[in-house]
Structure formats: C-alpha cells, structure tokens
Amino acid sequence: MRRIPWAVLLALLVGVGLGLAYAWVLSPRRIADAQPLALRPDFKDEYRSVIAASYAATGSLPRAQARLSLLGDPDPIEALIAQAQRMRASSQTVERANLVAALASALEEGTSGAPVSAPTNEVANDTGNTFTPSPSANDVAETLQPVETQTAAIETQTPLSEATPRPTRTSTTAPGKPFALASQESVCDPNLPEGLLQVITLNRNRRQLAGMEIVVTWDGGKEQFFTGLKPELGNGYADYIMTPDTIYTVQLAGGSDVAPGITPPTCQHPNGEAFIGGVKLTFQQP
C-alpha cells in the first residue's frame, strides 16, 4: 500500500495559506477607475447626493441624467425618491435631502431648471447696446455648493460727455412652480385616528412627490412634516394629528396656495355616536 505524502500536502497547504494571506492582507488588489455601477449602495447614495448638488448649482438636467445613468438604476427617479426618504428617516440634513428630492422632481418634469445662484451681468458696449453673456455648459464650474459667477465689465473708451452704464444683475428664477390646492375634503372614517390631517402632493402629471416640506401653523404654534415617510401609503403622502377646537393653516414650504381655517370636523357613527374626523388636502403643480 502506498503511503500518503503528508509532507507534500502540508507544504501545499502552507503555500496556499501564505499566498492568500499575502493577496488579501499584505498586498490586496487596489481597484482604480471603477465604474459607478460597481459602487456599494451607500457610496451610490453619496454619488446621487453629489449629482443633486451639482444640478442645484448648474441647472444642467441633461448632465445630471447622464451621470445618473452610470449607476445603472432601473428607475433613476424612484431611486432618488427612495434615497430622499431614507435621508429623512435617518435624520440627515434637510438641505441635502431637499436637493435629492428636487432633482427627482426635475426629472419627472423633464425640464431643466436655472442655476440657483448664477446671476448674469448685462454689459454695455461702445455702441450703446447691452448684451448678457451666456457661458456654455462646459465652461460652468461645478461644485458642491452653489457659486456666484461674475462677468467682468468691458472697458471701452467713451467721450467724457457720455457715461457708460454700470453692469446690472439679471434676476433668475428658481426651478419649479408653486403648488395649487387641488382639493380639500372632510374625512369621517372611524377606522382612522381622530383629528388626522392627510396631505398629498402631486406634480402636474399626478405623480406623487416625496420629500415635500409641509408647514402647519396655528395660534401660537408651528410645525413641519414631510411627505414620503410612509411609502406604503404613497410617496407623496404625509399626515399630522390635529387637536380638536384648534384652527390650522396649511401650506407647502416651497410655495403653494394657503389652506386656512383647517379644523377637525365632528362626525357621527351609524349608531348616532359622535367622533372627531379628519381633513384631506391635495396640492398639485399647475
């Protein structure tokens, strides 16, 4: 009977172990120039946040769409909405979550917005006419924070009797439109919590929008809450428990019609017993 070459097997095992230790611990392979598609989920969230911040600074929606496509998400809009919801739930900064939600809203609209803080200057030439410089998209510096770009005034020689007008700022409008109060109804459902205020936000295509800040005020008080924190009820859904005999005013923080005089209604069970009902408000982009 042939003997098992234990010495050879032991040497092979030691060699394999040393090789794995060297490859995994001492000198692991460094991955460079990896595609965004290969990133971990948390790094993909950071990538989307950077894209949203860049869009807020430049207003270039096609460039944001091209960058999002590198992540390989089946539905980039749903991915942005889901990330905004996660950022709200994990108590991350409201500003970053708002940027992500704003990019999702812009993608749904399909139109690019103007840069948030990129005023232009009107410059007078020696003919007396004015023109507004408009740099190309490739010349716009992209940073994580909105930056102001200033165009230097062209110095021309003019007679002393003629004054050259100084450059003036041309105001830019922020992307998006205010929301209109599409409907307001009392809800008498004994299965719902008493005094439940339900708010739904829709875009002009009647698609629900997450990450919308809602402001509710009353005499001596004020609170904010956000849509999208209960995705099982809809991305654009949010609710708030009202106190009976209190009059509230409700509106969207980003601009909307004001819903005044909101108060829980008194409803009645089929058996005649009274209970406190709720109110449902729907805001939609015109």
Two tokens at 233? 């009820």
Q: Reply yes or no on whether the pLDDT at 47 is more than 80.
A: yes
**What's the burial of 263, exposed, middle or buried (CB within 10 Å: 0-12/13-18/19+)?**
middle
Q: At 253, which CATH number? A: 2.60.40.1120
Domain boundary among 82, 109, 136: 109
Q: What are φ and ψ of residue 71, in 5° steps?
A: -80, -20
Q: Which of 77, 109, 141 is the last residue of a domain?
A: 109
pLDDT of residue 286 exceeding 80: yes
For residue 77, tell me if it sits in a domain: yes
Is residue 270 assigned to a domain? yes
How many domains does one find in the chain? 2
Mark whether 96 and 185 lie in a shared domain: no
Share of the chain above pLDDT 90, in %: 25
> Does residue 275 lie within any of the structural domains?
yes
Same domain, 105 and 201: no
Residue 28 domain flag: no
* pLDDT above 70: percentage of residues in the chain: 72
The pLDDT, as a whole number, for residue 241 is: 94
Q: Which domain holds residue 248?
A: 180-284
- Per-residue pLDDT at 82 exceeds 90: no
> For residue 34, what pLDDT band results from cuts at 50, 70 and 90?
low
Separation CA 237–CA 232 (nearest Å): 9
Q: Is the pLDDT of residue 94 over 90?
A: no
Would residue 6 count as lying in a domain?
no
185 with 277, same domain: the answer is yes
Examine residue 254 and state whether it is found in any structural domain, yes or no.
yes
Q: What is the CA radius of gyration of the chain?
A: 29
Domain presence at residue 233? yes
Q: Which residues, including other chains, have CB under 8 Å from residue 137's CB and lie 6 or more apart? A: 58, 60, 63
Is 209 a domain residue? yes
